[in-house]
Amino acid sequence: MKKVLSVILSLCMVLPFAFAVTATENTDVLQFDENGEFVIMHLCDCQDGFPASETMLAFIRYTIAKYDPDIVVLGGDNTVGPKETKAQAIEELVTPFVESETYFAVTFGNHDNEQGVDKEQLLEYYQQFGGEYCLTIDIVPELFGVGTHNLPVLSSDGSKYAFNIWTFDSNTYVEGGGYDAVHEDQIEWYKQTAADLAAANGGEVVPAMAFQHIIVGEVFPAIFQTYPEALAVPDITKTVDGVTYSFTPQYDRITSGVVMEFPCPGEINYGQFDAFLAVGDVIATFSGHDHINSFTVPYKGIDIVNTPGATFNSYGDDSNRGCRILTINENDPENYKNELVSISDVILSGEDEALNATKDASMIKALFGKFVQIIIDVFCKVVGFIQGIA
């Protein structure tokens, strides 16, 4: 895999400022390649126990082999199943990364620790079975949640930090019901760490992407139309941050993908997105959680992105089940390449015999999924065109 041989020499160049950055103990293992590119695989909602779906595992191996990511970011709800086999489930999930010598980072979802194993222990399992390839640590244990941290990426020549990866624990549930979100102390840590990183980079803000399980609440004003609260109807409307919205996606605002269900952000907005705007480093924020959504929507200069689930165990849809591949150019990170990789498309391509031989790899389901994918895509484009000229 992409292990830059010059990293040791690069360390000598960055050592004076590496210790000034409040990052992880794994600082300086990630670097843009000689072509100035860095590839992230975003894999969400695997949400399986042990043994996991053979099709999903074969798809993960195929995608790593084809796209050669520099890092895989697990988007939360990574494993479920009884606590007795939780360690085995995690070992099975990370084995493709270890076998291919691919670095990975972990974010936790609302279901990861529901089986009687706390997130501290889960992280220890990822570190144990992932070894040197697991880059996630609980950098400040006092912060709310587990595993909020950042991973700076060196420039191709190793002279500076050219990019940064934020991973946040968006936590689980709030008292009384509903999903949680990234808390104030995590946001304050983010702002201070971003300032430290910029200071170590000669005062220049380091462009970044943020990854977490539960999506930011700003996705609602980004996509949906407001609706009179007095006329609110369950399942057709949703109230977020005190504003009611109807399920009428504005497809003229969405640059790619589809909205198949209402996003489910946290019940309380602690100001994370506002902090992104104030700091000015985050170019895109990525979430999973809503398994059948696959959209990218720009909002106030930041892309809000939902990656569909890869699970065959929980709910999903053959039209978009898969993962996301992000290719960042060192000299133009804002114009990153954003590609959805659909399991159905891979099955239909016949490129991977191992995947096609698995139990869940049905050609008929894949064909139907592709048909639905095309119909939805055409529908969204037409609706978006009409909305754009209305």
pLDDT at 229: 83
- Count up the domains in the chain and report the number: 1
Encoding tokens for residue 42? Answer: 């975003």
- Decide: helix, strand or coil at residue 47: coil
Burial class (CB in 10 A: 0-12, 13-18, 19+), 186: buried
Side chain identity, residue 129: F
Side chain identity, residue 281: D
Query: In the predicted model, is pLDDT for residue 2 greater than 80?
Result: no
pLDDT at 4: 37
- Of 105-119, 218-232, 374-388, the range with the lowest mean pLDDT is 374-388
pLDDT at 23: 42
| pTM across the whole model | 0.92
On average, the pLDDT of the chain sits at 91
Cis peptide before 51 (omega within 30 of 0): yes
Query: In the predicted model, is pLDDT for residue 328 greater than 60?
Result: yes
pLDDT at 357: 94
CA distance 363 to 330: 39
255 vs 3: which has the higher pLDDT? 255
- The string of pLDDT tens digits covering residues 139-198 is 999 999 999 999 999 999 999 999 999 999 999 999 988 999 999 999 999 999 999 999
**Could you tell me the sign of the dihedral formed by the alpha carbons of 319, 320, 325, 329, in that order?**
positive
Query: In the predicted model, is pLDDT for residue 245 greater than 50?
Result: yes
Residue 2 in any domain: the answer is no
Spell out the SS3 assignment of 63-118.
HHHHHCCCEEEECCCCECCCHHHHHHHHHHHHHHHHHCCCEEEECCCCCCCCCCCC
Query: In the predicted model, is pLDDT for residue 5 greater than 50?
Result: no
Mean pLDDT of 70-95: 97
pLDDT at 22: 42
Query: In the predicted model, is pLDDT for residue 302 greater than 50?
Result: yes
pLDDT band at 87 (very low <50, low <70, confident <90, very high): very high
pLDDT at 389: 81
Tell me if 28 sits within 8 A of 7, measured CB to CB. Answer: yes
**Could you tell me the sign of the dihedral formed by the alpha carbons of 130, 135, 138, 144, in that order?**
negative
Domain residues for the domain of 117 are: 7-389
Q: DSSP labels for 257-305?
A: S---S-----SS--SHHHHHHHH--EEEEEE-SSTT---EEEETTEEEE
Query: In the predicted model, is pLDDT for residue 11 greater than 70?
Result: no
pLDDT at 25: 57
Residue 1 in any domain: the answer is no
- Decide: helix, strand or coil at residue 232: coil
Residue 223 in any domain: the answer is yes
CA distance 29 to 319: 36
CA atoms within 13 A on the CB side of 162: 20
372 vs 300: which has the higher pLDDT? 300
Phi/psi for 343 (5° steps) reads -60, -40
Tell me if 120 sits within 8 A of 169, measured CB to CB. Answer: no
- The string of pLDDT tens digits covering residues 175-192 is 988 999 999 999 999 999
pLDDT band at 3 (very low <50, low <70, confident <90, very high): very low
Q: What angle do CA 139, 141, 144 make, to 5 degrees?
A: 110
- Of 102-116, 204-218, 374-388, the range with the lowest mean pLDDT is 374-388
pLDDT band at 12 (very low <50, low <70, confident <90, very high): very low
Share of the chain above pLDDT 90, in %: 81
pLDDT at 80: 95
Strands (E) in the chain, as ranges, are 37-43, 71-74, 103-106, 149-154, 161-167, 208-211, 225-226, 237-240, 243-246, 282-287, 296-299, 302-306, 322-329, 337-342
Q: Which residues of 272-310 are buried (b: 16+ CB within 10 A; e: fewer)?
A: bbebbeebebbbbbbbbbbbbbbbbbebeebbbbbbbbb
- Of 256-270, 318-332, 365-379, the range with the lowest mean pLDDT is 365-379
- Of 42-56, 72-86, 233-247, the range with the lowest mean pLDDT is 233-247
- Interacting residues of 189 by C-beta distance below 8 A, sequence separation 6+: 140, 143, 148
pLDDT at 195: 97
Residue 153 in any domain: the answer is yes
Residue 292 in any domain: the answer is yes
Mean pLDDT of 379-383: 85
- Decide: helix, strand or coil at residue 243: strand
Residue 190 in any domain: the answer is yes
- Of 23-27, 108-112, 167-171, the range with the lowest mean pLDDT is 23-27
pLDDT at 10: 38
Residue 15 in any domain: the answer is yes
Mean pLDDT of 24-42: 88
Which CATH number fits the domain that encloses residue 164? 3.60.21.10
What order do you get walking across the sheet with 243-246 strand by strand? 225-226, 243-246, 237-240
